[in-house]
Structure 1
């Protein structure tokens, strides 16, 4: 296999305007770069299943490798992915099952097929996934267990989740933004002026942004799922971060990120190890994304859940979150309780400060203070480390990568930083 270490840029073809070409380029490389960016911010993977020796590939600089990632036009692939997560938490399988059961029995619940409960399992332990991608309109991810399989399928306007163990399915419509993606040929779309429109520009901007807080280098080569890859090494320059280093294994031919590694600054095994064990860049068969509930399956409709919860005044339900990619803006949700959110510091040692409703309640004239039951207070005290400072008193709850400080007056500080860095941020907030 002849490696290709050069990044190419495409000039406008006959009949195409520069704006159209720029939009096409941006759409092409946003997906792999977004994946790499997410890994750099939150998760990573260890170097993958290396063969008998590191492959001998042409020398490449960090800028050239980032350009290669940005220039990747990979839109179709399939394969198997191994995930190992060690956040320092107990297994969440039982908790996820309990939530799924509660949802199943409770009014308006999504049952065991509800992704909100099922995907909690990925926060701990070892898991195997099968993935298939065919552009923006078709994706499938299956979590494979010994005796069962859980699948999430996006095919055009349809989104399904199915749990073979319980024979339950969850159905939603894809968010309108996803349904309309690519259908307007960019007629009414405008890229932000600050957004780089070529791989080289993206790489230069990324490296420039990283200069102050981050060291980015190419740290040799490896093999991932039988494919030759370069290793991009990302290391914080700041002290106080719980992130030790991040490694991104990049396919030498396609520029597709194949593996990510996040090693904590405290040492030991990787916090999260996720990467391909098998990968094929051929277009998946269309039948891969077709799904109909098996006979006798219990089907929960997201629209029905949303209607039920609207009547009960519970707001958005599992269907809405599922359709939005299972995400939520925690700071925004916290703020609904009368609080506020802001970021203290910058770079790898930035801390999210959530000033919540609890604090506001204590300051409100005549507000009645609710005392926590002794049993609950005892459990809370046993889980966290008590700390004091200018901010007052509180407790730090820790994982191997993310720590949170909850103060007695209702403030919350969260970040991928050490306990001392949290206390420092809380003191500065005062």
Structure 2
């Protein structure tokens, strides 16, 4: 069994070109195989730009950085042509979540500091339905401003028994008394912990009696594991981290999301007109209202609620994993930047990989958290199963992001289907903690 833990840190000097090229190759533009049925749309451009955001009700808007541009909603089979322009005074590397595939055009998503640089559009064949996100904050630790995530949605081509979709983007912030926000990686002393939903301090949704709403809940949080609770509603989980799951009822209507995690949930509004259901957010310390869902006075959508929805169409991940023939690796999490774990600003392609696996092989990772707080692990390029304690089965859903409690070990398994170099991310749930990266190879 291979052990991944602290080692002597190699001394090297990196220039910006090597840094951005290395990150681009390992993580930034995983591309699905293009099917012959893919349909092209006009190119879109995302712009990394400054904006302002009110983090407290009625408070002064705080300067932040964000990805601005057109709506990123596509259908399965379409090809998204997404360009990028950096209008920030720092380097930006787009960190895409939820896209399995093979790396291509590396380093296809990068921009230089102190000038507006436009990059040609990169093709993203939309082969896998589900919510994804892009975040310009991979290099964001200790920068002048925190950065916001941007949702990307791929819809199924098959009929889905819902009346409409709603995207809920949850983000966490640390704000000073004057209302300004600090980036992660900075000591949060004398700041308040705040959260927003779709860039607002509170959000009101409405729906009609017997309407079914699909909530695509995306955590754009930097460091916080949060729970979203829809008070008084039955919440049926249909997909996690952009992959369909066996449908199940969320316990007490609560959904727990690690930073970067996503959940698709169906809710049926069966109450009478005027009923209000609170949307609560729990950050591990306390719950507070962050929105509400109101049943409108309009006539019911239908005479009776819809029957339970069947599972969403499969995205083609394997039904079974060969655990007996798997390669097994220990991955030690929770430490600082030392040895094999690096901050993104010090990442280089020349760094040794966490592991190498042959294409088609099953990989089992033992994620060992030695930190005093929960640690969040994210695997680029592949989704994984969370194994039962005795490795005799797995949970009925796929993940690409997992929070591991302090002192705990969780085992995950995935089929190494996509050749290439892929990034691994790890970060403690402490605002001042650095984001750390490694990479792995499928050959």
Between Structure 1 and Structure 2, the one with more helix by share is 1
Q: TM-score, structure 2 length as denominator?
A: 0.20
Larger radius of gyration: 1
